[in-house]
Structure 1
Amino acid sequence: MTSPRRSAFVPGPEHHRIVVLTGAGLSARTGLGTFRGPGGVWDLEPELEAAMHAGRLPGSIPQLWSVWGRMAGIAAAHGPTPGHRALARMGAHVITQNIDGLHQAAGSEDVAELHGSALRATCLDACCDWRAPTTPGPGERAEDHGVPAACPVCGAPTRPDVVLFDEQLPATDLDLALELARSADLFAAVGTSGVVFPAAQLAPLAREAGALTVLVDLDPPSQAGPRTGFDLVIEGDAHEVLPAWERAVNGVAQRSFLDPFGS
């Protein structure tokens, strides 16, 4: 059974390996918004959701460049939020469903990107391992984002390195996520309910391995199902909760001078 909400919780000295699963809610402050639910990207622009299905390739490639390039550009222009920076400063290991690169920009080193990255291009041919960093911006062509339209290795079209519906998650990142979950003594899901598989198995996996599991969300789900993997549910702003955790982990008595910036 889920424990009562206790917003005053902070990691203690018994928590040596903090692992955090993050979702769109952590990056929403940058202007990216969330994808599902009322007011989400798929709700406001349903034609974009249709374009995100792998079965629409290769015809959907211009739309993919436009959508993901724009989102990567928004993230790059805004930069990491206080929540991203707090996770980096406390040395948390990160598993993210986000594609915006903000964890790495904040300084996090161990980041498993379950849904890929809008800051990379990849080859449409799954048998080709060509990848390259992009320069996010507007436009429907690969060249608008600093990469060639044809793969320089095999000649196939290039596309954003983002996982589409009906595609497999990157095996290396999924394996890292499972390893991190098993090794955690404190596992938190932030800005995501974590109800979509395989992310949904991470909190139960961490708990089974002995970790305390915590859900941090402004509006956590009221249904019992999504909460069953968590020992503790904190209803609060991640950009306040995570800096408080970071101060506890690093023994800082007052707010870090970095906390107010990047809001």
Structure 2
Amino acid sequence: MTGRASARGSAFRPSREHRRIVFLTGAGLSARAGLPTFRGEDGLWAVHPELERAMHASALPDCIPDLWRVWPGMYAAAQRTGPTPGHRAIARMGAAVITQNVDGLHQTAGNRDVAELHGDAGRAACLGPDCTWSTKLAPGDGERAEDHGAPSLCPVCGAPTRPDVVLFDEMLPADALERAERLAREADLFVAVGTSGVVFPAAQLAPTARRAGARTVLIDVNPEDPVSARAQFDEVITGDAHDVLPQWERALNGVRSSTFLDPFD
């Protein structure tokens, strides 16, 4: 997703007949904002192997300082850089979003209909299994909740607090997953960007959309498994989403130039 390539393999573009466009987005979309992807030679797990270990629910509560040390800072870095051209184009198309990202960039770009499958690194949550307390963070530096504007102990139940991100072996937020499935069923165009979309439960969303009658599209600069992708999606566009999506948006909205609208191109 982060390389530069022209769109190949499909000349598809959405039209005004597509009234309910839904995007499924992953780490590849935010890489342009300077955020690392998780896997691969330069991925977050390779650079910070201790964080991968800390991202397992079985490591709680001992891993909480590692979580505080990394996630609020990543959220703050994303907000400082701001949304990418891809994020802005998705927002200007008025699309709904299902995201595996925790950086808040879709909301910053202007999207209001966002289902966050993996949580929100800009919020704190209670570790207590039955407590719903959460609060917005003021990200800083450090490995304590107080370093990021949150209490270390939940003010409701007294349990430890943590960044509101989903760890390995944790269930996805039920409300976000239910919302994602609803969006997939209601879509007439379903587009996966920055993610292979093959990891469950996200992997069920494109087939769900297709069964409900949506056209399904994958945009990826280098699909990991092109054969599998073409079996799962009606259209596979091999290209950089930060080129493809602004083109789509300009075509839908009748805009000739991106000079003003895409200042980061």
TM-score norm. by structure 2 comes to 0.94
Q: Is the 8 A contact 2:10 2:235 kept in 1?
A: no
Q: CA deviation at 1:218?
A: 1.3
AA matched with 1:55? S
Q: Select 1:221's aligned residue among 224, 236, 241.
A: 224
Give CA-to-partner distance per residue, 1:156-193, whole Å, 9 cap, x none.
Answer: 11000000000000000000100000111110000000
Q: CA deviation at 1:223?
A: 4.4
- Name the SS of the counterpart of 1:37 in structure 2: coil
Q: Select 2:210's aligned residue among 207, 211, 230.
A: 207
Instruction: Give me the whole-angstrom Cα distance separating, in 2, the residues matched to 1:106 and 1:255.
Output: 16
1:139-158 correspondence runs (5 A): 139-158=142-161
Q: Select 2:103's aligned residue among 100, 110, 113.
A: 100
AA matched with 1:118? A
Indicate the RMSD between aligned Cα atoms, in angstroms. Answer: 1.5
AA matched with 1:133? K
Instruction: Give me the whole-angstrom Cα distance separating, in 1, the residues matched to 2:188 and 2:133.
Output: 37
Q: CA deviation at 1:115?
A: 0.1
1:5-84 correspondence runs (5 A): 5-84=8-87
What residue number does 1:196 align with? Answer: 199
Instruction: Give me the whole-angstrom Cα distance separating, in 1, the residues matched to 2:162 and 2:98.
Output: 23
Q: Is the 8 A contact 1:69 1:139 kept in 2?
A: no
Q: Percent identity?
A: 67
Instruction: Give me the whole-angstrom Cα distance separating, in 2, the residues matched to 1:208 and 1:7.
Output: 21
Q: CA deviation at 1:254?
A: 2.8
Q: Which runs of 5 or more residues in structure 2 are unaligned?
A: 1-6
Q: CA deviation at 1:226?
A: 4.1
Instruction: Give me the whole-angstrom Cα distance separating, in 1, the residues matched to 2:197 and 2:230.
Output: 9
1:185 aligns with 2:193: no
Instruction: Give me the whole-angstrom Cα distance separating, in 2, the residues matched to 1:121 and 1:177.
Output: 22
- Name the SS of the counterpart of 2:232 in structure 1: coil
Give CA-to-partner distance per residue, 1:190-231, whole Å, 9 cap, x none.
Answer: 000011100001111111111110000111123423442201
Instruction: Give me the whole-angstrom Cα distance separating, in 2, the residues matched to 1:139 and 1:219.
Output: 37
Q: Is the 8 A contact 2:86 2:242 kept in 1?
A: yes
What residue number does 1:112 align with? Answer: 115
Distance 1:255 1:8, change over 3 A: farther
Q: Which runs of 5 or more residues in structure 1 are unaligned?
A: none
- Name the SS of the counterpart of 1:138 in structure 2: coil
For these two proteins, the number of residue pairs brought into alignment is: 259
Q: CA deviation at 1:256?
A: 5.3
1:210-249 correspondence runs (5 A): 210-249=213-252
- Name the SS of the counterpart of 1:112 in structure 2: strand
Instruction: Give me the whole-angstrom Cα distance separating, in 2, the residues matched to 1:43 and 1:7.
Output: 34
Instruction: Give me the whole-angstrom Cα distance separating, in 2, the residues matched to 1:17 and 1:151.
Output: 39
Q: Is the 8 A contact 1:191 1:217 kept in 2?
A: yes
AA matched with 1:70? G
Q: Is the 8 A contact 1:72 1:137 kept in 2?
A: no
Q: Select 1:172's aligned residue among 175, 180, 192.
A: 175
Q: CA deviation at 1:47?
A: 1.8
Instruction: Give me the whole-angstrom Cα distance separating, in 1, the residues matched to 2:13 and 2:148.
Output: 41
Instruction: Give me the whole-angstrom Cα distance separating, in 2, the residues matched to 1:130 and 1:45.
Output: 29
Q: CA deviation at 1:237?
A: 0.9
What residue number does 2:4 align with? Answer: none
Q: CA deviation at 1:253?
A: 2.8
Q: Is the 8 A contact 1:221 1:227 kept in 2?
A: no
